[in-house]
């Protein structure tokens, strides 16, 4: 490891270094740097599965192996293939294609682009020894990829017809059906070679009056046809249609609704059509209850007979995240959630029983010291790159980017990107700009709309250091102390605030420019992406920018942001009112005075579950339906009624999910008895179900 790489690590705050202990995160150049993993290491997992953009997910099981892909739009390579044995720990094994070059739009040439377009909403299938991925490309029809091994190589062919949000079913009568569309769901038969549609087979399958939408997932289960779908939008329920035959009649049920996982809408653009800065932002409303709900996804089974659901959620500027939910079948309908709380996905739950137990892993190795023959698989290019204008071999241990003409960062070719990772992360790179030519701008960026960057500008008189904020259109400049600089950006996706800084020695970092507000938008149809870039504003190709390394440090890489305080006494306070929980007349109450709070000993019940015990040995117990007044204290050996799943919402606050009701402990707005009948947290986390906690003794 080079000294410069070590120097960048030395500049990371102590808290980050403590959390970056070596762990079983998979092989790779920087596998010791802990990255988000949903597995809590105690038999439970926490949503999201990935704390980075993974939209329009589709999943298959082949034997005891699971494979997953999702939308990649304009990024190359595209359609990532992730593999898992337990549905929680995933690892990237490749992409369906390295490059998809269908003209100048795909290369950022002639003022044309495919931002927010490209390839999207894939369908993953396996049939008779072959893996298939079907996905549309705007204006270029349906793309079909097939392989004998999910690691590739993948073969590609094109069907001229575009099938919006396609889902394919290889039926047991030998026919191949595809459902597609938004609002109105249509069906068409594909030919056996998967090179075209069968003429005369395209028809309306389900009329919009039944309330289905887009993002269909098409299944045949126990002889019945199922279509899982979402109404178009971000704050919508997920529906399921069912029929005994394709001729119908079709019945529809809502199987997932209202689950925000305690996430509210963040910053938005006031005018999403505006093309130039300054941009006006709409800030989040602290009292707003608009949920960013789980909505588009599908279902899958395990070899042990369990069923699980997966769906995505618009999660503000970090992008669309994928979550996992237990599925409960009721009268032949696959409801997301648990008995007693159907339609609501728990933020933390017991891992699926797939018959496999393995190490905690993260999908990607995010850091790269550029010493290998290839880039880490996490990297993707913004549009199709010019492969003659970048190198890992010309200067050993460096990524070299040659500049190409561009008016600004948005049009810069050969920008290398990877998904930003939440809930919080810091990215650092070392740039040697001694090879830049006049007009070159190179550095570290947040690719988004609006975007921001920090970098070196080569001018006639020498080098300038600059930080650009696309929201305001303003650039902050300083004289560069050297053409060799360390560049950094820290992103907090809870607050949606990013801060840029630089260093001349890799240790002492100085802020440059104001705070940058990250927003969710549909211009790129992706979340924020970390980017390395080099472009020339003089209209001609320029010089070379050499990047020595790229590190991603995450201070909160696990769902349990604070360890469960097992065997310790704690007090609990409602985030909404500030009222404390206390024992009053043998029941659990909300009280206005913190001095009246009852200390509860946290008793370990295994698999992230706990009981709350008072100093006299009694346990908090949920009776009946968990209505207010039915949460009492009992002197018993703890069972389900006295057991709660400890749920950490990644910001230190906690929910307590009763195993008796599969609903949450909830405090009233005014002092009084609490219940255990709340379906799930509101986006503002002030509905009485979210609690702060404090250790008060052992």
Asked if 82 and 23 sit in the same domain, the reply is no
Asked if 584 and 502 sit in the same domain, the reply is no
Using one digit for the tens of pLDDT, what is the confidence trace for 10-50?
A: 333 333 333 333 332 233 333 347 999 999 999 999 999 99
Sheet of strand 238-243, all strands in order from the earlier edge strand to the far edge: 214-221, 224-230, 238-243, 251-256
Is 518 a domain residue? Answer: yes
Using one digit for the tens of pLDDT, what is the confidence trace for 230-262?
A: 877 667 899 999 999 999 999 999 999 999 999
Q: CATH number for the domain including 474?
A: 2.60.120.200
Is 41 a domain residue? Answer: no
For a pLDDT cut of 70, what percent of the chain falls above it? 94
Amino acid 403: pLDDT: 98
- CA 385, CA 397: separation in Å to the nearest integer? 21
Asked if 4 and 88 sit in the same domain, the reply is no
Question: Residue 665 above 80 pLDDT?
Answer: yes
Asked if 485 and 614 sit in the same domain, the reply is no
Question: Residue 58 above 70 pLDDT?
Answer: yes
Asked if 491 and 459 sit in the same domain, the reply is yes
The contacts found for 140-146 with CB under 8 angstroms, 24 or more apart, are: 140/102, 142/166, 143/100, 143/119, 144/194, 144/195, 145/79, 145/96, 145/97, 146/194
* Domain stop point among 559, 582, 602: 559
Asked if 114 and 195 sit in the same domain, the reply is yes
Is 279 a domain residue? Answer: no
Asked if 523 and 615 sit in the same domain, the reply is no
Is 340 a domain residue? Answer: yes
Q: How many domains does the chain have?
A: 3
Question: Rounded mean pLDDT of 568-575?
Answer: 98
The model's confidence at residue 564, banded by pLDDT at 50, 70 and 90, is: very high
Write the CA distances from 474 to 31, 278, 410, 517, 524, integer angstroms: 38, 9, 15, 14, 22
Question: Rounded mean pLDDT of 288-315?
Answer: 91
650, with CB counted inside 10 A (0-12, 13-18, 19+), is buried
Question: Rounded mean pLDDT of 383-409?
Answer: 98
Whether residue 208 has a cis bond before it, omega within 30° of 0: no
Tokens 């379906």 belong to 679
Q: CATH number for the domain including 341?
A: 2.115.10.20
Question: Residue 355 above 50 pLDDT?
Answer: yes
* Domain stop point among 559, 583, 616: 559
Half-sphere exposure of 624 (CA within 13 A, CB side): 10
Amino acid 289: pLDDT: 58
Amino acid 285: pLDDT: 80
* Domain stop point among 559, 579, 597: 559
Amino acid 23: pLDDT: 32
For a pLDDT cut of 90, what percent of the chain falls above it? 90
Asked if 606 and 493 sit in the same domain, the reply is no
Q: CATH number for the domain including 648?
A: 2.80.10.50
Asked if 513 and 583 sit in the same domain, the reply is no
Whether pTM exceeds 0.85: yes
- CA 502, CA 467: separation in Å to the nearest integer? 10
DSSP percent split of the chain into helix, strand, coil, nearest 5: 5, 45, 50
Which residues, in sequence order, are bridge partners of residue 490? 426, 499
Is 267 a domain residue? Answer: no
Is 272 a domain residue? Answer: no
CB 446 within 8 A of CB 453: yes
Name the residue range of residue 141's domain: 50-258+294-350
Question: Residue 278 above 70 pLDDT?
Answer: yes
Asked if 551 and 591 sit in the same domain, the reply is no
Asked if 573 and 554 sit in the same domain, the reply is no
Calculate the average pLDDT of the chain. Answer: 93
Amino acid 183: pLDDT: 86
The model's confidence at residue 273, banded by pLDDT at 50, 70 and 90, is: confident
Amino acid 287: pLDDT: 65
Is 266 a domain residue? Answer: no
Using one digit for the tens of pLDDT, what is the confidence trace for 477-499?
A: 999 999 999 999 999 999 999 99
Tokens 């008995």 belong to 339
Amino acid 234: pLDDT: 66
CB 145 within 8 A of CB 96: yes
Question: Residue 1 above 80 pLDDT?
Answer: no
Asked if 93 and 14 sit in the same domain, the reply is no
Question: Rounded mean pLDDT of 304-319?
Answer: 96
Using one digit for the tens of pLDDT, what is the confidence trace for 152-203?
A: 999 999 999 999 999 999 999 999 999 999 889 999 999 999 999 999 999 9
Is 230 a domain residue? Answer: yes
Q: What is the DSSP string of 368-386?
A: B-S-SSS--TT-EEESS--
- CA 90, CA 57: separation in Å to the nearest integer? 13
Question: Residue 150 above 70 pLDDT?
Answer: yes
Amino acid 235: pLDDT: 78
């Amino acid at each position: 490891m080079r000294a410069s790489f070590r120097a960048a690590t030395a500049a990371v705050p102590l808290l980050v270094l403590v959390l970056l202990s070596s762990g079983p995160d998979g092989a790779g150049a920087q596998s010791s740097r802990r990255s988000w993993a949903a597995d809590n290491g105690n038999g439970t997992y926490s949503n999201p599965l990935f704390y980075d953009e993974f939209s329009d997910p589709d999943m298959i099981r082949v034997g005891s192996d699971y494979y997953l892909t999702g939308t990649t739009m304009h990024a190359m390579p595209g359609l990532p293939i992730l593999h898992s044995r337990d549905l929680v720990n995933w690892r990237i094994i490749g992409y369906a294609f390295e490059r998809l070059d269908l003209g100048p739009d795909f290369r950022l040439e002639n003022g044309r682009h495919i931002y927010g377009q490209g390839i999207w909403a894939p369908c993953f299938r396996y049939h008779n020894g072959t893996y298939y991925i079907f996905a549309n490309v705007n204006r270029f029809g349906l793309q079909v990829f097939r392989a004998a091994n999910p690691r590739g190589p993948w073969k590609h062919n094109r069907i001229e017809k575009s099938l919006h949000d396609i889902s394919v079913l290889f039926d047991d009568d030998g026919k191949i059906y595809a459902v597609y569309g938004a609002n109105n769901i249509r069906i068409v038969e594909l030919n056996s070679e998967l090179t075209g549609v069968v003429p005369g087979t395209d028809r309306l399958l389900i009329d919009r009056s039944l309330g289905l939408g887009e993002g269909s997932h098409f299944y045949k289960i126990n002889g019945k046809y199922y279509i899982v779908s979402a109404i178009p939008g971000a704050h919508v329920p997920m529906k399921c249609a069912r029929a005994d035959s394709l001729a119908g009649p079709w019945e529809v049920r809502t199987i997932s609704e209202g689950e925000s996982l305690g996430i509210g809408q963040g910053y938005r653009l006031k005018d999403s059509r505006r093309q130039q800065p300054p941009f006006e932002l709409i800030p989040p409303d602290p009292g707003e209850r608009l949920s960013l709900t789980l909505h588009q996804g599908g279902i899958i089974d395990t070899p042990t007979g369990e069923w699980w659901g997966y769906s995505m959620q618009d999660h503000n500027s970090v992008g669309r995240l994928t979550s996992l939910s237990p599925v409960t079948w009721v009268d032949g309908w696959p409801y997301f959630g648990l008995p007693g709380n159907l339609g609501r996905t728990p933020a933390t739950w017991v891992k699926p029983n797939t018959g496999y137990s393995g190490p905690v892993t993260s999908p990607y190795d995010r850091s790269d010291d550029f010493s290998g023959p290839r880039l880490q698989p996490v990297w993707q290019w913004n549009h199709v790159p010019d492969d003659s204008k970048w190198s890992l071999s010309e200067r050993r241990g460096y990524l070299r980017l040659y500049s190409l003409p561009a008016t600004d960062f948005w049009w810069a070719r050969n920008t290398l990107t990877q998904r930003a990772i939440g809930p919080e992360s810091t990215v650092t790179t070392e740039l040697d700009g001694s090879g830049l030519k006049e007009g070159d701008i190179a550095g570290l960026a947040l690719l988004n709309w609006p975007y921001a960057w920090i970098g070196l500008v080569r001018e006639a008189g020498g080098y300038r250091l600059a930080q650009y904020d696309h929201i305001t259109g303003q650039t902050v400049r300083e004289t560069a102390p050297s053409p060799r600089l360390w560049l950094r950006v820290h992103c907090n996706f809870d607050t949606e605030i990013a801060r840029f800084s630089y260093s001349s020695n890799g240790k002492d970092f100085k802020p440059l420019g104001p705070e940058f507000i990250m927003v969710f938008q549909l211009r790129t149809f992706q979340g924020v992406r970390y980017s390395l870039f080099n472009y020339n504003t003089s209209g001609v190709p320029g010089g070379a920018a050499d990047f020595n390394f790229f590190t991603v440090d995450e201070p909160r890489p696990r769902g349990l942001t604070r360890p469960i305080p097992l065997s310790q006494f704690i007090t609990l306070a409602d985030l909404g009112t500030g009222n404390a929980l206390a024992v009053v007349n043998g029941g659990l109450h909300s009280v206005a005075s913190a001095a009246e709070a009852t200390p509860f000993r946290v008793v370990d019940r295994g698999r992230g579950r706990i009981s709350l015990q008072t100093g006299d040995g009694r346990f908090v117990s949920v009776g009946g339906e968990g209505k207010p007044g039915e949460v009492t204290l009992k002197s018993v050996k703890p069972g389900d009624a006295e057991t709660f799943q400890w749920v950490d919402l990644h910001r230190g606050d906690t929910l307590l999910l009763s195993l008796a009701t599969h609903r949450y402990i909830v405090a009233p707005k005014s002092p009084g008895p609490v219940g255990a009948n709340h379906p799930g947290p509101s986006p503002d986390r002030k509905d009485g179900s979210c609690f702060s906690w404090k250790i008060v003794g052992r």
